[in-house]
Amino acid sequence: MSILTYIAGWPLLAALALIVVPRDRQKTIRATAVVATLISAVLAVKMFAQFVPGVDGYQFEQQIPWVASLGISYHVGVDGINVGLILMGAIVAFAAALCSFEIKSREKEFYILLLVMTGGILGAFASLDLFFFYFLHELALVPTFIMIGVWGRGENKNFATFQITLYLSVGALIALIGLIALYLQVPADVRTFDIPRLTKYFAEHTMASGAQNFIFPLLLFGFGILVSLWPFHSWAPLGYGVAPAPTAMLHAGVLKKFGLYGLIRIALPLLPQAAQSWAHVIAWLCVGNILYVGWVAMRQKDLNLLIGNSSVAHMGFIFLGIASLNLIGITGAVLIMIAHGFLAALTFALSGYIYQQTGTLQISELGGLCRKLPFIGTALIMAAMAGCGLPGFANFVGEATVFFGAWGKFPVVTILALWGALVIGGVYMTRAIRNVLHGPLPEKWNVLTAVTHFWRKLPYAILLVCLLVFGFVPKLLTEKINPDAEKIVSQATAEKLVAPTEISGARP
Amino acid sequence: MNASLMTLELCVLALGVVLLLADFWMPAERKKYLAYAAIAALAGLLLISFSGQGVCSLGGSAFHGAFANDALAVFFKRFFLLAAILVLFIAAEFSGRIAAGISEFYSLIVFALAGMLFAASANDFAMLFVSIELITITFYVLVSFQRGKLQSLEAGVKYLILGALSSAFMVFGIALIWGTTGELNFTKLAAVAPQFVGSQIFLLGVLLVLVGLGFKIAAFPFQIWAPDVYQGAPTPTTAFLAIGSKAAGFVLLLRVLFTAVPSVMHTPAFTNLLIIISGITILYGNLCALPQRNLKRLLGYSSIAHAGYLLLGVAALSANGQAAVLYYLAGYLFTVLAAFAVIAIVLQNVENEDISGLAGLNQRSPLLAATMTLAMVSLAGIPPLAGFFGKFLLLKAVLEQGATYHGYYCLAFTALVGVVISLYYYFNVVRALYWSKEPADLSPIELSSPAKFFIWVCIAGIFWLGIYPSTVLDPALAVAKSLGL
């Protein structure tokens, strides 16, 4: 058994076990969820440490045939692209389980859904089989809808649930059509859902450009809806605004990266010609994410909507990295995916804590919270700084790398994106800090209690530490991402690259 | 002539007669348990059919080819036996609400089963018509069995009128086919049909036969009866209509389309017709299900939508499409019967079978609530349950044909729209189970042990097909290959 099976399997097993635990044993239920995600996280760290960069092919592979007649098999493995994502996903899941303190009703169902979501998404990232890749993502997606619908907050809850369900189901199904169409491009006798074999096949036999131009938009927009690509982003801020904090952490942090991962892993190497002809479209759409959604974020009066919009804006940088179709750009995109995972989880966890304490996230009603909640306040300031790309945090490394990668190909877009990252991002983040954390403390908030308990502080601390570690030592990631990103780029551009630039030099 | 091929059907008919006779000397309060005797007998037949010898063994045809016992027939015979067994469980749970003649109710179910078994083997238009009539006429009685209930009688009359009308169309179609070609046997017809592809009268005949079958499977535009009849009929009847009668329609459809008139099917006009009917059926069923509050009516519309999904596989005109239909029906069997069993048990005392009757079910009986949730989630097509893999196979089959004809892409997108719409009303039911406000009745529900057994069989089936699809998919592919194209 591969370690990857255990990483994704423990949460699922724990979810099964929780079914038989009586619902009044809340402590047992909580402990089971926390321990299961902790085991996953520890195993993921171990896997990350044992991963050997630059080895050809996948590591920790395991393959079990499932439906032989269709060429579906349970196949997991990691290379430089998904090793970091799995690490990030497992750590965020652990933090989310710790943050689920705030859930006070129907805990049993909540933790079961949380664990299913965790297992599903970690499995999807580890999967090297198209069918399981989709299957496990869908398994993780459905609990999101239920969690938002049942444990969501605010009066917009029903509308937001409805919207997010509709958008994400449509996105996932469009992507499914694209994936099936891709599978059907292989002649009937060698058909397989196995990603490595498909990649190999299409490296040897180029797909007809008509088919490529049919399938690529399906994948781009199907996955794009899942990642809140502008103009299909409107589900995201509202959905995250009403979602309970652990759900928002897992979805915005981890689950959302599935679509981006799918584009990098499947769409670029398998559909190279279409990828090149669509790169301009992606680049200009991402301006919508970065500038338009950035402006929208500036006008928000609710802290969660602001964070939600900023998270949509950050997706733009990843799309820009993908659109640049070169080694630096793709490496940067993967870096931001990981960094943003930690960051989104951290900010939603913090806003969740503030909401739980104050019962509101209207920025105008908050203020001076740093005085009463020094730990939360400091963490939020650091998260905001990471969000506007301050050196020292992992986001800076990724964003800078993406800009270097994109400059040569899309100078205008890069300038606009820089403006969005440095100025617009800076404005709304610093404004939020001033209005929420600094200034006079309204009388009514004198009752707030700061976090003192170690277990309550732990999730925020872990996520901050991860942001800082990968911010100061990006080499941990880049040395793993680089060789495999190079492979993907060489397939996507079908011409040999110039010697790769030393990216880890972008260290602050 | 080899009449021994019909042993299975004869056994089932004999069982029906025995059940009727048992009515004479069985004390009234014990009649309920006749269902378990019938279940035991049918389970025995099912086991024998899997043993590879005896009543359901492969091979051969009887009555000059009118009765074929091939792979497709054997697959569906097992399917129908299983369906009847599970429906009898529901009927036993429901027996308290049938005022008189419960043993007749059981025996009518068994007679309908016999009709379905004959339908699975029908390889001749005469056989097809007789088996369909055997099914439909028993269902006229089954639908209106709650004689004291106005709705049940109304449903019976509606089913009778529309059923008779569609039978008339079908007979007319068969007459036209026979008149032009002089053949009733499917295999012989297939040999001569290519000469008649240009004949308008022959094509009209085929079309009218499809009208009759479209009525059985409740495909647009012959679906009008479904919601009313589903709502009014006693729940076990509705369950058997939803799975048995629909599957019988599909086995005959597959036979007629792919054994009798494959040459006609491959004309662009008929391909388009199938695509359009499938697409409209999906949209109609799903859109009309949205505002429904009555659970059985909702499942009636959802069964129209599922007929549309199943037609995807037929419209694909490929072996993979046929295999997908067989797989989907197998998943649908467990799912829909689980749902109807929950309705039969929970809504015993609720007059109007409104969704709100399910409120608080997770406190009254967690097992039943979980079963209903699984059924709805599987119908909506969410992994890892049977419904997801079935929809995946159907979509794959349709997209496979997309390269040759682009209309299939439109069909696939229509199916997607349908799936997304259906999420809303399926999740509405789930919401009523767990999160409805102020449930009126919180008395716990005691399950009888046969009911528990039944529920666990359905749950196991839903999961098994989703997690180990090969167990049904491989036989289904083998069947589809043997059916040829």
For chain B, list residues with pLDDT below 50: none
> When comparing pLDDT for A354 and B383, which is higher?
A354
- Residue A437 Cα distances to A307, A424, A442, A445, B149, angstroms: 15, 20, 11, 12, 68
Nearest to A262, CA basis, from A222, A290, A232? A222
CB-nearest to A184 from B383, B399, B423 is: B399
Distance from CA of B173 to the nearest CA of A (A): 38
User: Hey, of B286, B378, B396, B428, which one would you mutate to test binding to chain A, going by the most A CBs within 10 A of its CB?
Assistant: B396
Both tokens assigned to A129: 């089989």
Give the integer Cα–Cα distance in Å for B103 and A409.
79
Is B218 part of any domain?
no
Long-range interactions of A201-210: CB distance < 8 A, separation 24+: A202/A269, A202/A270, A203/A269, A203/A491, A206/A272, A206/A273, A207/A270, A207/A271, A209/A273, A209/A274
One-letter amino acid for residue B277 of the chain = I
Element (H, E) at A252: none
Work out how many domains chain B is built from and give that number.
1
For residue B385, give the chain A residue with the closest CA: A139
In a domain, B289, yes or no: no
Residue A507 has pLDDT above 50, yes or no: no
* B384 secondary structure, DSSP code: T
Nearest-Cα distance to chain A for B434, in Å, is 10
pTM of the model: 0.88
Are A173 and B474 within 8 A, CB to CB? no
Query: DSSP readout, A197-224?
Result: HHHHHHHHSPPPHHHHHHHHHHHHHHHH
Asked if B413's CB is within 8 angstroms of A177's CB, the reply is: yes
What confidence score (pLDDT) does residue B281 get?
Answer: 94
Give the pLDDT of residue A500: 43
Counting Cα atoms < 13 Å in the Cβ hemisphere of B159 gives 32
Identity at A393, one-letter amino acid code: F
The two three-digit tokens of residue A342, written as one number: 């930690």
For residue A136, the distance in angstroms to the closest alpha carbon of chain B comes to 8
CB contacts, 8 Å: B383 with chain A: 135-136, 138-139
For A373-398, letters b (16+ CB in 10 Å) and e give bebbbebbbbbbbbbbbbeebbbbbb
ipTM: 0.82
Q: Which residue has the tokens 């986001």?
A: A395
- Considering only CA atoms, which of B237, B467, B246, B462 is closest in space to residue B372? B462
CA–CA separation, B11 and B372 (whole Å): 34
**Does A427 reach chain B within 8 Å, measured CB to CB?**
no
Model confidence at A234: pLDDT above 60 = yes
**What are the backbone dihedrals phi and psi of residue A440, each rounded to the nearest 5 degrees, phi first?**
-70, 145
Indicate whether A70 pLDDT > 50: yes
Rounded to the nearest angstrom, the minimum Cα separation between B412 and chain A is 8
Is residue B454 one of the residues assigned to a domain?
yes
C-alpha distance from A66 to closest chain B C-alpha (Å): 8
Question: Are A145 and B427 an interchain contact pair (Cβ–Cβ within 8 Å)?
Answer: yes
Q: What tens digit of pLDDT does each residue of A335-352 get?
A: 999 999 999 999 999 888
Q: How far apart are the first and last CA of chain A?
A: 40
- Check CB contact of B406 with chain A, cutoff 8 Å: no
Q: Please state whether the peptide bond connecting residue B384 to the residue before it is cis, i.e. omega within 30 degrees of 0.
A: yes
- What mean pLDDT comes out for the span A440-453? 78
Q: Does B385 touch chain A (CB under 8 A)?
A: no
- Token look-up 């097809």 returns B128
Q: What is the predicted pLDDT for the residue at B485?
A: 60
Residue of B nearest to A135 (CA): B383
d(CA B9, CA B5): 9
Both tokens of residue B477? Answer: 């592919």
Q: Confirm if A353 and A258 have CB atoms less than 8 A apart.
A: no
Q: Which residues neighbour B430 within 8 Å (Cβ) at sequence distance 6 or greater?
A: B372, B373, B376, B377
For residue A166, give how far its alpha carbon lies from the nearest alpha carbon of chain B (Å): 7
Residues 6+ apart with CB under 8 A from B406: none
Distance from CA of A146 to the nearest CA of B (A): 9
- The H-or-E segment that residue A62 falls in is strand A59-67
Kindly indicate the confidence band of residue A35, based on its pLDDT and cuts at 50, 70 and 90: very high
CB contacts < 8 Å between A and B, how many? 63
Mutation target among A19, A142, A212 for the B interface, most CBs of B within 10 A: A142
Instruction: Give the C-alpha separation, A304 to A282, whole Å.
Output: 27
Are B383 and A135 an interchain contact pair (Cβ–Cβ within 8 Å)?
yes
Number of Cβ within 10 Å of residue B50's Cβ equals: 9
At residue A44 the predicted structure's pLDDT band, cuts being 50, 70 and 90, is very high
Contacts of B412 in chain A (CB under 8 A): 177
In the three-class reduction of DSSP (H, G, I as helix; E, B as strand; rest coil), residue B266 is classed as coil
| Contact between chains at B395 and A176 (C-beta distance less than 8 A) | yes
Residue B156 tokens read as 């019976």
- Is B383 an 8 Å CB contact of chain A? yes
Q: Residue B443 falls within a domain, yes or no?
A: yes
d(CA B479, CA B37): 32
Is A208 an interface residue toward B (CB < 8 Å)?
A: no
Q: Which residues of B touch A165 (CB under 8 A)?
A: 423-424, 427
Which residue in A488, A61, A12 sits closest to A262, CA to CA?
A488
Across the interface, which of B403, B412, B474 has its CB nearest the CB of A69?
Answer: B474
Does B420 sit within 8 Å of A166, measured CB to CB?
yes
Q: What is the pLDDT of residue A440?
A: 81
**Token pair for residue A338?**
């990981």
Pair of tokens at residue B310: 């199943």
Q: Where are the domains of chain A?
A: 3-506
DSSP H or E segment with residue A75? strand A72-78
In a domain, B20, yes or no: no
Distance CA(A400)–CA(A317), nearest Å, equals 10
CA angle in degrees (0–180, nearest 5) for B261-B266-B267: 105
Measured distance CA(A342)–CA(A254) in Å, rounded = 9
B91 alpha carbon, distance to own chain's centre: 17
3-state SS of A305-358 is HHHHHHHHHHHHHHHHHHHHCCHHHHHHHHHHHHHHHHHHHHHHHHHHHHHHHH
When CB atoms are compared, the residue of B382, B402, B416 closest to A142 is: B382
For chain A, the C-alpha Rg in angstroms (whole number) is 21
The position carrying tokens 């049909």 is B193
A74 touches chain B (CB under 8 A): no
* Percent of all residues in chain A with a pLDDT value above 90, rounded to a whole number: 21
Contacts of residue A48, defined as CB under 8 A and 6 or more positions apart, other chains included, come to A83, A84, A86, A87
Owner of token pair 């009703």: A105
DSSP state at residue B447? P
**CB pair distance less than 8 Å for B420 and A170:** yes
Amino acid sitting at position B291: P
Cβ neighbour number for residue B196 with a 10 Å cutoff: 21
Nearest Cα residue in chain A from B471: A67
Tell if the CB–CB gap between B395 and A180 is shorter than 8 Å.
yes
Q: Give the Å distances, CA to CA, from A103 to A110, A154, A356, B432.
A: 8, 15, 10, 21
Both tokens of B288, joined, read: 């009309």
Mean pLDDT in residue range A75-93:
91
Closest partner residue to B469 (CB to CB) among A67, A174, A177 is A67
Cβ contacts of B395 on chain A, cutoff 8 Å = 176-177, 180
Half-sphere exposure of B187 (CA within 13 A, CB side): 11
CB within 8 A of B100, min separation 6: which ones?
none
Residue B455: which residues within 8 A CB-CB, separation 6 or more? B338, B341, B367, B368, B371, B447
- List B residues 408-437 in contact with A (Cβ-Cβ < 8 A): 412-413, 416, 419-420, 423-424, 427, 431, 434-435
Amino acid symbol at B343? I
Question: Among B176, B17, B191, which residue's Cα sits nearest to residue B106?
Answer: B17
Nearest of B164, B258, B245, B133 to residue B206 by alpha carbon: B258
Q: Which of A379-383, A492-496, B271-275 has the lowest mean pLDDT?
A: A492-496
Chain B residues close to A180, C-beta within 8 Å: 392, 395-396, 399
Contacts of B371 in chain A (CB under 8 A): none
Separation between Cα atoms, residue B65 and residue B76, nearest integer Å: 18
Please give, rounded to a whole number of angstroms, the shortest distance from the CA of B88 to a CA of chain A. 30
pLDDT at A496: 37
pLDDT of the residue at B47: 87
User: Which residue segment(s) compose the domain that B394 sits in?
Assistant: 325-485
The answer to whether position B109 is within a domain reads no
Distance, in angstroms, between A120 CA and closest chain B CA? Answer: 11
Q: Touching check for A184 and chain B: CB below 8 Å? A: yes
Distance CA(B70)–CA(B411), nearest Å, equals 31
pLDDT the model gives residue A499: 40
Backbone angles phi, psi at A129, to 5 degrees: -125, 125
Closest CA to A316 of A222, A403, A446: A403
Residue written as tokens 């300038």? A415
DSSP of B401-431, one letter per residue?
HHTT-THHHHHHHHHHHHHHHHHHHHHHHHH
Place of tokens 């689950």: A255
- At residue B331, the pLDDT reads 92
DSSP per residue, A436-501 = HTSSPPPGGGGG-----SHHHHHHHHHHHHHHHHHHH-THHHHHHHHHHHHHHHHHHH-SPPPPPP
Do residues B8 and B56 lie in contact, with contact meaning Cβ atoms separated by under 8 Å?
A: yes
* 3-state SS class at A72: strand
Cis peptide before B221 (omega within 30 of 0): yes
| Backbone dihedral region for residue B183 (phi beyond 0: left; psi -120 to 50: alpha; all else: beta) | beta
Query: For testing the chain A interface, which of B367, B416, B424, B481 should be mutated: the one with the most A CBs within 10 Å?
Result: B416
A138 vs B: CB within 8 A: yes
> Is B154 an 8 Å CB contact of chain A?
no
Q: Which structure tokens are listed for A66? A: 């499932």
